[in-house]
Amino acid sequence: MNTTTPRVFVAATEQNVGKTTTSLGLYATLRRQFRSIGFIKPVGQRFIEIEGKRIDEDSVLIRDTFDTQIPIEDMSPIAVEPDFTRRYIEASNSEYLARRIQNSFDRATWEKEFAIIEGTGHAGVGSVFDLSNARVARLLESKVILVTTGGIGRPIDEANLNKALFDAAGVEVIGVVMNKVLMSKYEYIADFARRGFARLGLELLGVIPQERMLSEPTLQDVCGIIRGEVLAGAEDLRSRAGTVMIGAMQAANVLRRLEERTLLIVPGDREDVLLAAIADARDPHVRREHGIVAIVLSESLRPEGAVAEMIRKAPFPIIASPMDSYTIASRIHSMTVKTLPGDSEKIDRIQSLVSEHVDVDRILEKIGAR
């Protein structure tokens, strides 16, 4: 196996804390120092079909964003299908999977000057089929960065627990990147977290502030989660929903409570609210920072006649869903928002955040790649 290319393994203390965000930002920043960078996500749990192969969606994001010139099957050698664990327990073949990962790593790093390895969840994820993040990092002879969420007590506790697993596997954790830190408490949290991690022998390598836009779903994402049918404005489904609001009040009160990029949920028979919202959006004399980005009609209720015609010509997307208003709002609030290929605004912002708030030079120094 390739043991010469400098590499770093990006792990996390739990799911959805910003591991992919960190990997993407690191890749962009490191391109200023290395002409060619390899990428691999050895074990993926969220995948899409590409030419009959199941490929982890984060590998597709990196490939499409940076044109990696790496066979996509080598960037994502193992995709954990729904029955993968059961089949492995029935007839395990640990050596075969380990060799597959190492061989894919060799191809993904061929003639590359640096390599980024993205893990899956916390250090122990994959243990059931003998491919925990700790073991994979060991197989690929890589040092590790831990990504944690913002805070003080919980991130430090979780980092300590994860570090123990990596220590047991003989893998060095070089430090921590803390993500989603509230700007109102940024300096305070960074100071105490740095001191707290130091007590565990961990260096705080970066503190990334919370960025609201990164957690806002697109209207296209919303359609998928609520089984939505687009009645108008299909060309604007890439817009992001900022605030979710249920319009269970008189039209005038709804308009007064609008916030930035409000996704308004309202039954289709509330014609008063629909007409007021459409008229308000078209009024050239109304100048507000806040406004409606889309309307979702709940419970498959749809207006008829003249109101239906106005909906078809609405100045923002209108989406119909068979679910009730509460279920729609709950599903949107519980969504895991992923960065997808083509989310250029998000990708540009991620690159800026990592470049500004993560000490990449220190990371390179700690893995001996300066």
| 329-368 residue pLDDT tens | 999 998 888 888 888 889 999 999 999 999 999 999 999 9
pLDDT tens string 96-106:
999 999 999 99
pLDDT band at 325 (very low <50, low <70, confident <90, very high): very high
**Residue 201, Cβ neighbours under 10 Å: how many?**
11
pLDDT one-digit tens code per residue, 194-213: 999 999 999 999 999 999 88
Mean pLDDT confidence for 77-100: 88
pTM: 0.88
Q: Which of the residue ranges 28-32, 81-85, 273-277 has the most confident prediction, judged by mean pLDDT? A: 28-32
Q: Is the pLDDT of residue 287 over 70?
A: no
- 217-333 architecture in CATH? 3-Layer(aba) Sandwich (3.40)
Cα 189 off chain centre by: 23
- Token pair recorded at residue 51: 């030419």
Q: How far is CA 97 from CA 8, 42, 204, in A?
A: 21, 10, 33
Q: Residue 274: its pLDDT value, please?
A: 87
Average pLDDT of every residue of the chain: 92
Whether the per-residue pLDDT at 289 is higher than 60: the answer is: no
* Predicted local confidence at residue 179, as pLDDT: 97
For the cut 70, the answer to whether the pLDDT of residue 290 exceeds it is: no
Least confident of 82-96, 115-129, 272-286: 272-286
Select the more confidently predicted residue: 133 or 259. Answer: 133
Question: Which architecture, in CATH terms, is 7-212+338-366?
Answer: 3-Layer(aba) Sandwich (3.40)
pLDDT of 343 = 86
Residues 6 or more apart whose CB falls under 8 angstroms from that of 267 comprise 297, 298, 299, 301, 325
Residue 286 pLDDT more than 60? no
- What ranges do the domains of the chain cover? 7-212+338-366, 217-333
Q: Give the model's pLDDT for residue 298.
A: 94
